[in-house]
Amino acid sequence: MSSAKRSLLPRATGFAHQLLEQNLRPGDHAIDATCGNGHDTAFLCRLVGERGAVIALDLQDAAIAATRAKLASEGLEACLLQGCHSELPSLISPYLPDNGKVEAIMFNLGYLPKGDKSVITEAGTTIRALDQACSLLADFGLLTIAVYTGHDGGVAEGEAVDLWSRGLPQDHFSVISYCFENQRNSPPHLIAVQKKPASA
Ligand SMILES: C[S@@+](CC[C@H](N)C(=O)[O-])C[C@H]1O[C@@H](n2cnc3c(N)ncnc32)[C@H](O)[C@@H]1O
């Protein structure tokens, strides 16, 4: 009998990490559009390595401080920017590579865990940011969106994101949705979008 370890299906955030691990390479560029406590930013930094670059963004100074501390504790570096992700292009343009494209963009929606739960991502700014994110993706680039519906406003935002994702043109993007169908307490689900190269 094989002794290979078996594993449970990953949570939405874990599945996002698996997809990014398969696609990101050392030297790539990535954006964390909701850096929060810095876990995803640190994850992206580890994947792209010292030759790559990560830009991390959050609305709240508490999140920027938490991400800065997380990176420092692991000896990692990223470009940290405070602002709304609906202003993505103007905030990040000075830090983009020459071709203006990135290989990965992560969104982890909702509120800052252990932070101010009244500050949440909202459908209007989220959809605007997602549209902008799509135009920043390099060929084969991945956009991952972890969607939380358990808090006030979460269902409306989740429905808006699902609808937005289904409307992306098939010729240019592949879109998947990953969710647990039978779990209590509104587990997060994942939308992942990949930019197809022109010839595909
Ligand atoms: C679920 S947390 C992110 C967790 C983070 N990915 C991590 O690894 O710790 C969501 C974050 O989105 C941020 N946020 C809310 N609205 C935003 C906006 N319009 N632009 C940028 N960040 C926003 C919140 O401040 C919060 O820190």
Read off the pLDDT of each residue in 99-118 and give the average, rounded to a whole number: 95
Residue 110 Cβ < 6 Å to ligand 1 = yes
CA of 108 from ligand 1 middle (Å) equals 6
Whether 1 is covered by a domain: the verdict is no
Whether 68 is covered by a domain: the verdict is yes
How many separate domains does the chain show?
A: 1
Whether 40 is covered by a domain: the verdict is yes
Q: What CATH number does the domain containing 55 carry?
A: 3.40.50.150
CA of 169 from ligand 1 middle (Å) equals 27
pLDDT tens-digit series, residues 115-139: 999 999 999 999 999 999 999 999 9
Contact in structure between 153 and 120 (CB atoms under 8 Å): yes
Residue 34 Cβ < 6 Å to ligand 1 = yes
Residue 78 tokens, joined: 């990223």
Contact in structure between 158 and 187 (CB atoms under 8 Å): no
Whether 92 is covered by a domain: the verdict is yes
Per-residue model confidence (pLDDT) at position 13:
97
Whether 182 is covered by a domain: the verdict is yes
Whether 4 is covered by a domain: the verdict is no
Whether 82 is covered by a domain: the verdict is yes
> What are 58's strand-pairing partners?
82
Residue 37 Cβ < 6 Å to ligand 1 = yes
Per-residue model confidence (pLDDT) at position 1:
58
Residue 62 Cβ < 6 Å to ligand 1 = no
Residue 56 Cβ < 6 Å to ligand 1 = no
Whether 6 is covered by a domain: the verdict is no
Alpha-carbon separation of residue 154 from 2, 67, 91, 124 (angstroms): 43, 23, 26, 12
Per-residue model confidence (pLDDT) at position 200:
67
Residue 63 Cβ < 6 Å to ligand 1 = yes
Predicted confidence band of residue 2 (pLDDT cuts 50, 70, 90): low
pLDDT tens-digit series, residues 133-169: 999 999 999 999 999 999 999 999 999 999 999 999 9
Containing structural domain, residue 146: 12-195
Residue 121 Cβ < 6 Å to ligand 1 = yes
CA of 84 from ligand 1 middle (Å) equals 9
Model pTM greater than 0.85? yes
**Burial classification of residue 195, based on how many CB atoms lie within 10 Å of its CB (0-12 exposed, 13-18 middle, 19 or more buried):** buried
Mutate to test the pocket of ligand 1, among 11, 55, 58, 149 (most ligand atoms within 8 A of CB): 58
